[in-house]
Amino acid sequence: MVYLLPFFTVCIWGGNAIINKMAAETIEPSAMSFYRWLLAIVILTPFCLPRVIKSWPIIRPNLAKLTFLALLGMVLNQSLSYYAGLTTSASNMAMITSLVPLLAIFMSVPLLGKPISALSIVGGIIALSGLAFMLGKGDVAFFLHQDITPGDGIMVIASVCYAAYCVLLKRWKMPLSNWTMVYMQGALALIMLTPLWLTSDNLIPNQQSLPLIAYAGLAASILAPWMWVKAIDLIGADSSAMFMNLMPVVAITLAATTLGEAVHEYHVLGGMLVISGVILSQVKQPKKQVTPLPPLDNAEKP
């Protein structure tokens, strides 16, 4: 039953791609980003604020790092996703997002000093080929004679931001609880999103956008992180991460059933290549064990 935790988490994140697309038609991206975290912070404050006050001596010297993490993960990644929904499909958004684990592996080389395996390189080539096949609608070399849509390009930038966020989160590991980290980053993101929200034409959300804000603020920002952290505690980070590969499958299925997006052959083939490449890049090769040389006999010693 514990494996249902990462599965439901991935379902929520897959559904969030649908919310991003629907939000593009009902509320401005700047307002959506702002109200999402406003709702989450209002709900979390009674539970998290006492912990923040207690942990302030630890938070204060790490405030710059927390602010940069909030900028990457909560402001840029999520805001860009809402802007991407204006000009691309939910299926494309989910497929591009599925490259985050792969991007994180390559970013870990300069940022964490981790070596990259041959399997990761091969997996990266396969995944990028699948993405090019999907975005080009069956033409892998489409970018040589035509431009990608603005939404797809924005989504690539959003995925790079989130991959950098994941790697820096590991590099700047802080002695804070997960909920304190989420709350502080969400609060800092809310501060940074306020000027953007004030530029919106309609500062007050309309009735059609309220369910979308509720889903993004409660399910995607509170429930999903809690279940993900719980899953990592119970089954480990590696096992939980493998469930991330199901996200594009969930999102494309939901996009076809709820938004009426057509699923073409290039979606299926390109998606299979992307998922296969990402899984291959996550395979850990066993370390070679060096067998120690037997001790020399007295007669063999020089």
Contacts of 160 (CB under 8 A, 6+ apart): 103
- Which of 79, 33, 69 has its CA nearest to residue 183? 69
> Taking a C-beta distance cutoff of 8 angstroms, is the pair 212, 245 a contact?
no
> Taking a C-beta distance cutoff of 8 angstroms, is the pair 155, 100 a contact?
no
pLDDT given for residue 186 in this prediction: 93
Q: Where are the domains of the chain?
A: 3-200+207-282
302 residues of the chain, pLDDT tens digit each? 777 888 898 889 889 889 988 988 889 888 999 999 999 999 999 999 999 999 999 999 999 999 999 999 889 998 999 999 888 888 888 888 878 877 888 888 888 787 877 887 888 788 778 777 777 777 766 666 666 788 989 999 999 998 898 888 888 888 988 889 889 999 999 999 999 899 888 888 889 999 999 999 999 888 988 888 788 777 766 666 667 777 777 888 888 888 888 877 887 888 788 778 777 776 766 655 545 545 545 444 44
pLDDT given for residue 177 in this prediction: 87
Residue 206 per-residue DSSP state: P
